[in-house]
Structures are given as C-alpha cells and as structure tokens.
Amino acid sequence: MKKKSLPFKILYIALVAVFWLGVWEFASLIVDSQLILPSPGETLRAFLSLAGESDFYITALLSVCRISIGFISGLILGVILGVLCAFLKTADMIFAPLRSIIKSTPVSSFILLLLFWTDRELVPSFISMLIVLPVIHSGVYEGIKSTDPLLIQMANFYKVPRIKQIFTIYTESVKTRLTASSATALGLAWKAGIAAEVLATPALSIGTELYESKLYLETENLFAWTALVILLSVILEKLMMLALHFAESRRGK
C-alpha cells in the first residue's frame, strides 16, 4: 500500500479539525451559554487576547521548563534503574515495592504530600519525574529481558566484554521500546505536571492560570489555556521524536 502524500495528510487533518470545530460550535449554540461552553470563536479571541500579554509567554515557558526538568530526571533515573534491575536480581527485588507504590498511588496524593515536604515551585517537576520513572524503567527492563539469548551466547562465546554487549546488543533491543515509552511518558508527564500546577499554584504557571480561570468563572480563558496545553504537548512530543531520530542517525553514522 502506498503511503499517503503530504498534501493529502494535510487535507485529511484539516477536514477532521473542521468537523470537530463544527461539533464544538453546534454544541455551543445548543447550550447557548458562554459561561458553560464558549464557542470556538470566543475561545480564539480569548487566546489571542492572552497571547498579546508578555506574561503569557513567560508563563508557558516556565511550565515547559518545570515539566521538562521532571521528564528528563525521570528519563535518566528510569534508564539507570531499568538497567540495574534487569542485570541485578537484588536491585530488582529492592526497587519492586517502590515501583508498585508509585504506580498504584493517585497522583493527587503525591501532590498533596509534596506540598507538605517541599516548595510549591518544585512540585510539578517532582510529579513529572515520578510519573515518567516507572514508564521508562519498564521499557528499558522489558527491552533488556527480551534480548535474543542466542546473541548473548554468541557474544559470550567470543568473549565480548559485558560493557560492549550493553552498548551494542542490548541497546538495539531496548531502542524501540524506549522510544515508545518516552513518547508515552512525555504525554503523562505533561498532564500530571499541569495537574500538579493546578493544585500547587506556583507563580507564573499554566496550571495556576487554569485554576484562576475556573475560580473567576472565565470559561473562555479556561478553554484558551487548555488549548495552549494541548498545543504545547503536541509540539514537545514532535520535538522529542525528532531529537530521538537525530540521535539515532548520528549513532548510525
């Protein structure tokens, strides 16, 4: 089957966007209340009004920085723990309860606890890290465990050093899983980080703006900030995938 051309993809995306904007507009007309459901036009006007203020860009940048710090921290720790747990059974046993706690505890509980333990400015980064860590750990761990044992036997037969095996055989096995895990983790980190900002209300953050929009019944601003969250999430995911592909191409060369 031939791949769809770029113009066709653009047209397809545009038609889908027009369809859902039409559904949104129709629902807004039915509700007939800007307070409950503002129309796409009202939301766009609110977005453009917010975009005309300098604090809009500072707020967006600070939120991206907070969540990016948490994502990168979780990515690094997840890779390290994934490798340790895959090769050392003792490490796997030690960290198993911690992974279970992180996976099963509601994000809101972690947010409220962190508000007692640390500065509210740091809460979104910590939450993003906690969300990312188990996802990356699982991808790395499963990737290593699924490595073809025949390749390992052959490497051992030819006395290939363990460290070289990790950076050749195991890396190829982990690569695909890590890429998929990173994309999933970034989306989760972004949503959890914004939720943490809503509860922690750090200065100049998208989450704080969402909370204040709800508090003062500025529904069109609430929708506008939500649209920004979605837009930034898509942009960050695309940038991350480009960075991963670039790193892979450099590694291949």
DSSP assignments along 10-25, one per residue = HHHHHHHHHHHHHHHH
Distances in whole angstroms, Cα of residue 233 to Cα of each of 151, 227, 239: 39, 10, 10
Residue with tokens 């983790």: 185
pLDDT at 183: 85
Query: Distance (Å, rounded) from C-alpha 58 to C-alpha 79?
Result: 31
Residue 60: predicted pLDDT: 93
User: 73-106 as b/e, with b when 16 or more CB fall inside 10 Å?
Assistant: bbbebbbebbbbbbeeeeeeeebeeebeeeeeee
Please tell me the distance from the alpha carbon of residue 133 to that of residue 125, in angstroms, as a whole number: 12
Closest CA to 69 of 77, 81, 79: 77
C-alpha torsion sign, points 20, 22, 25, 31: negative
Please report the pLDDT score of residue 166 as a whole number: 66
Q: What is the pTM of this model?
A: 0.85
Separation of first and last alpha carbons in the chain = 30
Whole-number Å distance between alpha carbons of 84 and 35: 52
The CATH superfamily holding the domain 40-252 is MetI-like (1.10.3720.10)
Residues whose CB is less than 8 angstroms from the CB of residue 44 and which lie 6 or more positions away in sequence, other chains included: 224
Furthest C-alpha separation in the chain: 74
Per-residue pLDDT at 1: 44
pLDDT tens-place values along the chain, 253 residues long: 455 566 777 888 888 889 998 998 899 899 888 888 888 889 999 999 999 888 899 999 999 999 999 999 999 999 999 888 888 888 888 888 888 888 888 888 888 888 888 888 899 999 999 999 999 998 888 888 877 777 777 777 767 776 776 667 777 778 878 888 888 898 899 999 999 999 998 988 999 999 999 888 889 999 999 999 999 988 888 888 887 777 666 655 5
